[in-house]
Structure 1
Amino acid sequence: MNTSILHITNGDSTTQYLQKLNFKGDFITWREMLCEGKTTSDVGSESFWKNRFEFLKNSYNVSKQKFINYTLKEYRNLCNQKKQEEIVLWFEYDLFCQINMLAVISWLKHYREGYKISLVTSGKVAGSDQFLGLSELSENQIENLYKNRVVLSQDDIEYADYIWQLYCSDSPLRLETIHGFNPMSPFTYLEDALKAHFLRFPSIENGLNAIENTILKTVNENKFATKQEMLRYLLANQKNYGFGDIQYIKKIDELKKLFTASFNPVKLSKTGKQVLDHQLNYYPQIRSESAYLGGAKKYSFLYLSDTKKLLKIAS
């Protein structure tokens, strides 16, 4: 019956599920997608939120009022929560959640020093290769995770903050070399999530990243009557990105010239097939100076598939 707990969750579905299961305490829902667009390390500052609003407005047509009501009001509520004895973080295994988790821990390091902070993470299910989100778990599964939650040490908090700082830097190269150097970390899924992050930089082979190439390959190998049918397939078969439909819709729109005009049925255009077969490099056509992954410009680096390393492009 302890009510001196603050739960910070990865999304509304988790919050609603925990409340349905009568978890005691106060709830904050972290409503951001910091894996997308430019980020700065000063989580919660005026410039941080201004930068995030500009990205969401320009990329997803989010209105100022919606941003205030959906994200900022919840953040301000978080700022007012200071009385609890423990802060419990609820985040999942995928890139989307892991980057948000780093940002929240960084904020807690700077604004809730000395508080007891613990972590509940969902992912691989025992006895199966299946990965599940928090709201997909049974009542027993989620209660067991909660019972066995990991209390973060100061070293854990410092480590998460350091990885966040590197994610927000203007180069991913140092993050690439250091992200796997902490095998004792309680952040079980962070290394794989960051590997997925590096794959989001354009490949040297055709200028598209792993997600974009997967979209083309999926269309080439399957028959989809409509764009919506393709979208459902992509969402169901993504690995550890954790993206929603709006991220994939935006990505498909950026690649629209690689599809035939109608999308009914969905087929690759001649150019799309050439790009997929590495006969044409699409980098010049898709390159954008405003595209960021964390603090780095997306098109200032190339991913080398043979070495699985990033290469900085000389400016």
Structure 2
Amino acid sequence: MILHILNGDATRSIFQDSGIEGDMIVWREMLCEGRTPATRNMSRFFEERAAFLQQAYGIDSASYLSEAERDKQILQNAASYDEIVLWFEFDLFCQVNLVFVLYYLSQLSIKLPPVSIVQLDHHPDVPNFRGLGMLQSRHLPPLFNARTHILQEDWDLARAAWEAYSADDPLALEELSRRPSRHLPYLGKALQAHLRRLPSASNGLNAVEHFFLDRLALGKIRERDLYYQFWNELKIYGFGDFQLDVYTNRLQQAGVVKREDEMLSITELGEEVLKQEENYLSFASSKNIWIGGIPLDHTPWRWDDEEGKVIHS
């Protein structure tokens, strides 16, 4: 019997209709969003994570912990399976979840069966591929048959990547983002996209915020249309509505974006930030905003666009 772990509900229905045998669980975390506590104690990790999500986003901590406990009970019985297959995608959202799942599995005090991964960044039948949920059920069996088995070097990389992602110093993660990996080929680019979420050294905007202001500088646009532009042009992030709403709300609160019904527009202050005449961080609150293990409030780390690397300001 095989245990399949799907990253999110978008793939669930097509997987169920694919004819692939085995048990299935859906991994619903969004570990690319908010604080990821730096601890090897998984119970403590989920408790602290639940408290953060409740405080920062109003996500019910009891429901979160209940789902985490359910997943834990299934994974604790992983030794009873012949194989574990992870179905994840190329973007930051999925890759962060992937390295955590591998890290989580490695922390279990059980003998694991072989673990394999189905992951891809394009498909010949799907133009502008963004994820497994865009496929049809008939596409999945060939992908399953071509899955990649995880080796010890992959476990080591995933463990190092997760611990670096959860640390408050991004330099180790930056080094790992440049390390080639045959079986985790999308991890490096995803980690580089993550690092570009640090405030820019030039004006305090990160890559996502800069994208939004840059597009709004061309004229007013419906919020939904702005999101579609993001999904088409910066699909490396894999963010859904929730993450993008967090960004647009912060931009509005900082006074660089204005909303009128469904329309968004850039303000005079926003144009000054975009021109590097003002710094976004002087107007945007960073309280309780984290990217992985880095609290943005008073962090000295910045992304240097010209050098393409992390710097200490």
* Structure 2 counterpart of 1:66: 63
Equivalent of residue 292 in structure 1, options 290, 293, 312: 290
* Structure 2 counterpart of 1:178: 176
Flag the 1:220–1:252 CA change in 2: closer, same or farther, 3 A: same
1:244 and 1:54 map into 2 onto residues whose CA distance is 22
Equivalent of residue 266 in structure 1, options 239, 264, 267: 264
Alignment length (residue pairs): 308
Contact 1:11–1:30, Cα closer than 8 Å, also in 2: yes
* Structure 1 counterpart of 2:130: 132
* Structure 1 counterpart of 2:162: 164
SS at match of 1:87: strand
Contact 1:31–1:71, Cα closer than 8 Å, also in 2: no
Q: In the alignment, does 2:226 pair up with 1:230?
A: yes
Greater CA drift, 108-117 or 156-165: 108-117
Q: In the alignment, does 2:52 pair up with 1:55?
A: yes
SS at match of 1:243: coil
Flag the 1:123–1:220 CA change in 2: closer, same or farther, 3 A: same
* Structure 2 counterpart of 1:26: 23
Greater CA drift, 61-70 or 20-29: 61-70
Flag the 1:251–1:149 CA change in 2: closer, same or farther, 3 A: same
* Structure 1 counterpart of 2:304: 304
* Structure 1 counterpart of 2:239: 243
* Letter of the 2:45 counterpart: F
Structure 1 position 126, deviation (Å): 4.7
SS at match of 1:242: coil
* Letter of the 2:263 counterpart: P
* Structure 2 counterpart of 1:197: 194
Structure 1 position 127, deviation (Å): 9.3
Contact 1:43–1:106, Cα closer than 8 Å, also in 2: no
Give CA deviations for 1:67-118 in whole Å, capped at 9, x if unaligned: 2454443343333443101000110000000000000001111214442000
1:42 and 1:253 map into 2 onto residues whose CA distance is 30
Flag the 1:140–1:288 CA change in 2: closer, same or farther, 3 A: same
* Letter of the 1:231 counterpart: Y
Give CA deviations for 1:14-66 in whole Å, capped at 9, x if unaligned: 23221121221111111111111111354672210122112221232112343
1:104 and 1:16 map into 2 onto residues whose CA distance is 22
* Letter of the 1:301 counterpart: W
2:25 and 2:262 map into 1 onto residues whose CA distance is 42
Structure 1: segments with no counterpart, 5+ residues: none
Contact 1:109–1:158, Cα closer than 8 Å, also in 2: no
Structure 1 position 286, deviation (Å): 2.1
* Structure 1 counterpart of 2:12: 15
2:69 and 2:215 map into 1 onto residues whose CA distance is 37
1:168 and 1:105 map into 2 onto residues whose CA distance is 15
